[in-house]
Amino acid sequence: MAGRRDSIPGSARLRSLAPGGSCRRSRRDGGRDRLHAAQGTRRSTGGADARLGRPGRLLHLARRRCRIRRCRSRTGGTATGSRAGAVTRGQAWRAVVLPPVGAGRIAGSALADAVGTGVFASGAAVYFSQRLGLSIATIAGGLAVAGAVALAAVTPLGMLSDRFGYQRVLRITHFAHALLYPLFLFVGNVAEFIGLITVVTVLDRLASPAFQAMVGATVGTERRSETMGYVRAVRNGGFALGGLITSTAIAVGTTTAYNVLPVGNAVSFALAGILLSGIPNACAPRTPADAPPRRRVRPRYLALAGLNVVLLMHDTILQLALPLYVLNQTRLPAAVLPPLYVLNTVLVVVLQRRLSRWAATIRGAARAEQAAGVLLAVACACFAAVAVLAPVAGAGALVVGVVALTVGESLQVAGAWELSYEHAPSAERGAHLAVFSIGVGVQHSVGPGIVSLLAVWGAVAWFPVAAAFVLAGTATRRIASRPWPALQRGLKDSPPEVTRLH
C-alpha cells in the first residue's frame, strides 16, 4: 500500500482538479485514472521524482503549482477539467524563489524598497556635497524645485494608476527608479542635478498612492489596515538596515564607497519591481457613458487632507525640531539622541501592525486620529518640560515624550490610510489618494520652517503646537465620522477591475 501511494506524485494524491474545485482523494486505481483525466494529462507512476534530483523535483513541483494557479485564476478560483496550460521554466523557478502572491510578496517588495531608500536617503546630503561637490544652497534649491514640481504633477499622474492599473504603474516607477539612480554617478553640473532629482521626486510621489491602492485591491477591506501596518513596520526595519549600510560607506569615505549609495538604491528598486510580479493589476472600475458627472475632489476630502498636514508634523518634530531643541534649549548631551531614534524604530516595528487593527473601520480610524492628536500633544508637553527639569528627570521626560510621539504617530498613520482610502470614490481612487499624499510634500516643505521655531523660542513654543495637534485630531474625527453623501452621484461604489498577471 505504501508503494502504491508513493508512486503517485504528492500534489496529485491530495487533489483532483474537478469542476467546482472539489478535492477528492484517489482511493483506487480507477480513481487515479479519473485524476489524470481531470488534469488533462497522464503522469508516469514510476520513480521519475527520484531520478530528477532535488533541483529537478523543486522545478517539477513548481510547474504543477503554476498549472493549478493558472487554471484556478481563469475560472474565478475553481479548477476545471481542461488542461491548465504549459508552464515555462522561468515561471516554475519564480514559483520556487518568490514568496506567495499577496501580502507576503507586497511586504517583501516594500522591504527591498526601504533598504535601498534608507541607503540613499540617509546619506544623500553627504553624497551630493562630497561626491558631486555641490554647495548647500544648490542642494536645498534643487530639492525645493523638485518638491514644487512633484506637488503640481502628482494629481494628474495619479489618474494614470486609475487608468492603467495600480500594480503596473508601481512597477514602472520602480524600474524607472532603477534606471535613473545610477545616473547620479554622471552628474556634472547643477542643471543635470536639478533635472534628475526632479524626475526622481515626481516618481516617488506617484509611487505612494499607487502602492496604497494596490494593497487595498489585493488584500481586501478586512485586511487592508493590518497589511499596511505590517508593511510600515517592515519598511522601518529596512530603513534602519539601509542606514547602517550608509554609515559604513561614509566611514570608508572613498569614491567607490560613495557610489554604493545610488547603485544600491537602484538594485533595491529593481528587486522591488520583480517581487511585485504576479500581484493582480487592479484598475479603477469603468464609468458608464450615461453616468452623471462627478466632482473631482469633495471639499470634505480636501479638509481631511489639510488636517492630515497638521498631524504629519510629528515627522518633522522627530527628525529636525527635537534634535535642535535638545542641543540648544536643554542641558542634555547630544549622546541622548541616537538611543531615542532606536527606541522610535523598535516601537514602530513592534506596535504598528497591532495599532492598525484599531483603525480598520472608518469610525475606528476617526477615533485613532483623535487619539493621535492627544498623544502628540502629550509628547509636546513632555518635551517642553525637559528644558526646566534636572538632567536625569529631563532625560526621563524625553523618553516618555518619544514613546507618546511614536504611539501617536502610528495611530495617525493608520487612521490616515483608512480614511483616505474609504472616502475616495473607487473610480478615481488613485487620483484622490494622490491628492491626499500632497500633504506629505506640503509638510516637508512648510513643516521645517514652522517647527524650527521650537529650537529658537524654547519650551513655550511647544504649547501652540500641542493645541494644533488636539484641534486637528478632533476636527478629523468630526468630519470623518459624519455620514458622507454618495461618493459617486448616480453610481454605487464599485470594486476595482482586476487583471491577473501570470
**What are the two backbone dihedrals, phi and then psi, of residue 318, each rounded to the nearest 5 degrees?**
-70, -40
Orientation of helix 190-219 relative to helix 391-422, angle to 10°: 70
What's the CA gap between 338 and 195, in Å, rounded?
Answer: 34
> Binning pLDDT at 50, 70 and 90, where does residue 282 land?
low
* Bridge partner residues of 282 (DSSP): 498
Q: At residue 74, does pLDDT exceed 60?
A: no
Cell of 89: 521554466
What's the CA gap between 437 and 344, in Å, rounded?
Answer: 23
Q: At residue 34, does pLDDT exceed 90?
A: no
* 101-285 topology per CATH: Growth Hormone; Chain: A; (1.20.1250)
Integer CA distances (angstroms), 114 to 73, 107, 119, 457, in order: 31, 10, 8, 35
Q: DSSP 3-state assignment of 499?
A: strand
What's the CA gap between 343 and 341, in Å, rounded?
Answer: 5
For residues 233 and 73, the model is more confident at: 233
Q: CATH top-level class for 297-484?
A: mainly alpha
Q: DSSP 3-state assignment of 282?
A: strand
**Among 57-66, 181-190, 266-275, 296-305, which stretch is predicted with the lowest mean pLDDT?**
57-66
3-state per-residue secondary structure call for 23-77: CCCCCCHHHHHHHHHHHCCCCCCCCHHHHHHHHHHHHHHHHHHHHHHHHHHHCCC
Q: At residue 469, does pLDDT exceed 70?
A: yes
What's the CA gap between 206 and 195, in Å, rounded?
Answer: 17
What's the CA gap between 437 and 431, in Å, rounded?
Answer: 10
Cell of 256: 567607490
Question: H-helix or E-strand containing 361?
Answer: none
Q: Which residues of 98-121 are buried (b: 16+ CB within 10 A; e: fewer)?
A: beebebebbbbbbbbbbbbbbbbb
What's the CA gap between 219 and 326, in Å, rounded?
Answer: 43
Average pLDDT over all residues of the chain: 76
- For residues 210 and 173, the answer to whether their CB atoms sit within 8 Å is yes
What's the CA gap between 80 and 160, in Å, rounded?
Answer: 35
pLDDT value of residue 179: 96
Query: Would you tell me how many other CB atoms lie within 10 Å of the CB of residue 272?
Result: 27
| Mean pLDDT on 10-29 | 40
Q: At residue 132, does pLDDT exceed 80?
A: yes
What's the CA gap between 145 and 153, in Å, rounded?
Answer: 12
What's the CA gap between 172 and 372, in Å, rounded?
Answer: 35
| Alpha carbon distance, N-terminus to C-terminus of the chain | 38
What's the CA gap between 183 and 52, in Å, rounded?
Answer: 45
| Mean pLDDT on 418-424 | 86
pLDDT value of residue 53: 52
What's the CA gap between 187 and 258, in Å, rounded?
Answer: 14
| Mean pLDDT on 1-6 | 42
Q: Which residues of 434-451 are buried (b: 16+ CB within 10 A; e: fewer)?
A: bbbbbbbbbbbeebeebb
pLDDT value of residue 94: 53
3-state per-residue secondary structure call for 430-498: HHHHHHHHHHHHHHHHHHHHHHCHHHHHHHHHHHHHHHHHHHHHHHHHHHHHCCCCCCECCECCCCCEE
For residues 400 and 51, the model is more confident at: 400
- For residues 159 and 206, the answer to whether their CB atoms sit within 8 Å is no
Residue-range domain boundaries for the chain: 101-285, 297-484
**80: alpha, beta or left? (left if phi > 0; alpha if psi -120 to 50):** beta
Question: H-helix or E-strand containing 341?
Answer: helix 337-357
pLDDT value of residue 29: 46
State the amino acid at position 56 in one-letter form: G
| Mean pLDDT on 397-422 | 92
Angle at 46 between CA 43 and CA 47, to 5 degrees: 115
pLDDT tens sequence across 310-354: 999 998 888 888 888 888 888 888 888 888 888 998 898 888 888
Spatial CA neighbour of 417 closest among 232, 159, 237, 150: 232
Q: How many residues does the chain have?
A: 502
| Structure letter (DSSP) for residue 24 | -
pLDDT value of residue 269: 95
What's the CA gap between 160 and 497, in Å, rounded?
Answer: 15
* Bridge partner residues of 488 (DSSP): 491
For residue 80, give every residue at least 6 positions away whose Cβ sits within 8 Å of its Cβ, in sequence order, or none: 17, 19, 71, 74
Query: Rg of the Cα trace of the chain?
Result: 26
Domain 297-484 in the same topology as domain 101-285: yes
Question: H-helix or E-strand containing 359?
Answer: none
